[in-house]
């Protein structure tokens, strides 16, 4: 199995799907001539030409609308948002149109499109460029939302999203993009590996146990999965065995995997980067309460970001989203510690 960086895994997946299927094309700002804002589509324009690698004006409504219409007409567009925050001008196209068309017309049309782009806290990008907006998509029937944390899933879920016949939003973990394979391997061996051969793709809607443990279940997605693994390493030093579950997909949501884990550990910590109010962690916690209440030995703990727009100053920014130390504290709380 080859080791990859997250961004390279995305590029690999996109390229392979374009090679395999002529109806797949990429459209977005700076994807072609500029070689991609974060170089994910480097070399694509030269290889596939301007009909399949489409540079656009700064017109997100147009990009998504073009995606929807061409998908209805049988193509497989991959719409890149330079940052997922910039999808908001096009939120109407996504929510009112892409997500509704299948149902509203009684199943006559399908919208096999992908909306993808980096998301979450970066390096002091402040309020308008640091959000983790997955809840805005995961709230909408008709959309699928995947949240790859690892290079393997950046690869496997991107390929699965392109082949899916529904509109799929890929929430890419900006802070994982350029993590070196060695750095990932140091957190957990195998973390940078992508399965090879046999046309492997990930299944959308399957969570995964990334690390086995018996005392407490840490549930994360995207960058927070990596923080959970780091927390598990810290907990292990104190003799606490944490199981780490990577959700991988928020819509559809696999609750069977976390519930099975909680049956074993009896404790759960749910982690998300953005503020917790009405968030993803709230949904997971509610489902645990409904379906796993009698397996629990302690209240479910949520670890989430502060309920504030992202501040710029490094000093404040690092207080605004969860770190592994916060997860450790929450895990200990479920174990009766303070």
Partner 1 sequence: MARAATAAPPASHATAKNGSGKEADLDIKKLDAKKYLRFYEQMVHIREFEELCDHAFRQGTHGIGGYLHLYSGEEAIAVGIIGAMDVENGDAFIGHYRDHAYALAAGSEPGEVMAEICGKATGCSKGKGGSMHICDAKLGFYGGYGIVGGNVPIALGLAWAIKYRGENRVCACFFGDGSMNQGGFHETLNMAQLYKVPALFVLENNGYAMGTSIERSHANPNLASRVESYAMEYHVINGQNIFEVHEQVAAIVESMRTNPRPVFLEMKTYRYHGHGAADTQVTQSTYRSREEVEDWKTHRDPIRLAEQALMEAEILTEEERERIHTEAVEAAKAALKFSDDSPDPSPDELLTDVYV
Ligand X SMILES: Cc1ncc(C[n+]2csc(CCOP(=O)(O)OP(=O)(O)O)c2C)c(N)n1
Q: Which helix (H) or strand (E) holds 223?
A: helix 223-237
Q: How far is the CB of 27 from ligand X (least distance, A)?
A: 14
Q: Which does 241 bind (CB under 5 to 8 A by kind): ligand X, partner 1, none?
A: none
Q: How far is the CB of 274 from ligand X (least distance, A)?
A: 19
Name the site residues for ligand X (rule: CB under 6 A). 29, 58, 60, 82, 86, 89
Going along the chain, which residue ranges are E strands? 2-3, 24-28, 53-55, 76-80, 114-119, 144-146, 168-173, 193-194, 208-211, 216-220, 242-246, 249-251, 268-275, 301-305
Judged by beta carbon, residue 6 or residue 86, the one nearer partner 1 is 86
Catalytic residue positions?
Answer: 60, 129
Contacts of residue 159, Cβ cutoff 8 Å, sequence gap at least 6 = 13, 16, 17, 201, 202
Structure tokens at 195: 């399965």
Do β-strands 193-194 and 2-3 pair in parallel, antiparallel, or remain unpaired?
antiparallel
Judged by beta carbon, residue 23 or residue 37, the one nearer partner 1 is 37
Judged by beta carbon, residue 82 or residue 331, the one nearer ligand X is 82
Do β-strands 144-146 and 249-251 pair in parallel, antiparallel, or remain unpaired?
antiparallel
Judged by beta carbon, residue 263 or residue 323, the one nearer partner 1 is 323
Name the site residues for partner 1 (rule: CB under 8 A). 29-30, 33-35, 37, 55-61, 85-86, 88-89, 122-129, 306-309, 311-316, 319-320
Q: Using the structure block, give the residue that is written with the tokens 């884990």.
A: 261
Q: Which does 307 bind (CB under 5 to 8 A by kind): partner 1, ligand X, none?
A: partner 1
Q: Which does 34 bind (CB under 5 to 8 A by kind): ligand X, partner 1, none?
A: partner 1
Coil, strand or helix: which one is 299? Answer: coil
Distance CA(328)–CA(166), nearest Å, equals 38
Q: How far is the CB of 98 from partner 1 (least distance, A)?
A: 17
Q: Which does 124 bind (CB under 5 to 8 A by kind): ligand X, partner 1, none?
A: partner 1
Q: How far is the CB of 45 from partner 1 (least distance, A)?
A: 10
């Amino acid at each position: 199995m080859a080791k990859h960086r997250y961004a390279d895994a995305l590029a690999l997946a996109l390229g392979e799907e374009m090679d395999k299927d002529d109806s797949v094309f990429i459209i977005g700002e700076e994807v072609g001539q500029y070689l991609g804002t974060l170089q994910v589509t480097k070399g694509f324009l030269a290889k596939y030409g301007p009909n399949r690698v489409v540079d656009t004006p700064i017109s997100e409504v147009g990009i998504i609308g073009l995606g929807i219409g061409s998908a209805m007409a049988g193509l497989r567009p991959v719409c890149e948002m330079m940052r997922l925050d910039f999808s908001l001008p096009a939120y109407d196209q996504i929510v009112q149109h892409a997500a509704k068309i299948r149902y509203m017309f009684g199943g006559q049309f399908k919208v096999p499109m992908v909306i993808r782009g980096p998301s979450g806290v970066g390096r002091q990008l402040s309020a308008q460029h640091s959000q983790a907006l997955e809840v805005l998509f995961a709230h909408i029937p008709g959309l699928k939302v995947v949240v790859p944390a690892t290079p393997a899933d950046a690869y496997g879920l991107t390929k699965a999203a392109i082949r899916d016949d529904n509109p799929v939003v890929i929430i890419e973990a900006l802070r994982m993009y350029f993590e070196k394979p060695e750095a990932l391997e140091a957190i957990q061996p195998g973390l940078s590996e992508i399965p090879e051969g046999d046309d492997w793709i990930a299944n959308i809607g399957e969570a995964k146990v990334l690390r086995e443990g018996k005392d407490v279940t840490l549930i994360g997605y995207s960058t927070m999965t990596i923080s959970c693994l780091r927390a598990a390493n810290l907990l292990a030093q104190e003799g606490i065995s944490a199981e780490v579950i990577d959700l991988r997909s928020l819509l559809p949501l696999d609750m069977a995997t976390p519930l099975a884990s909680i049956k074993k550990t009896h404790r759960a910590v749910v982690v998300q980067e953005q503020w917790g109010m009405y968030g993803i962690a709230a949904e997971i916690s509610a489902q645990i309460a409904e379906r796993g209440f009698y397996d629990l030995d302690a209240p479910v703990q949520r670890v989430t970001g502060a309920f504030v727009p992202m501040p710029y100053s490094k000093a404040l920014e690092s207080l605004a989203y969860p770190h592994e130390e916060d997860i450790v504290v929450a895990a200990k709380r479920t174990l009766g510690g303070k």
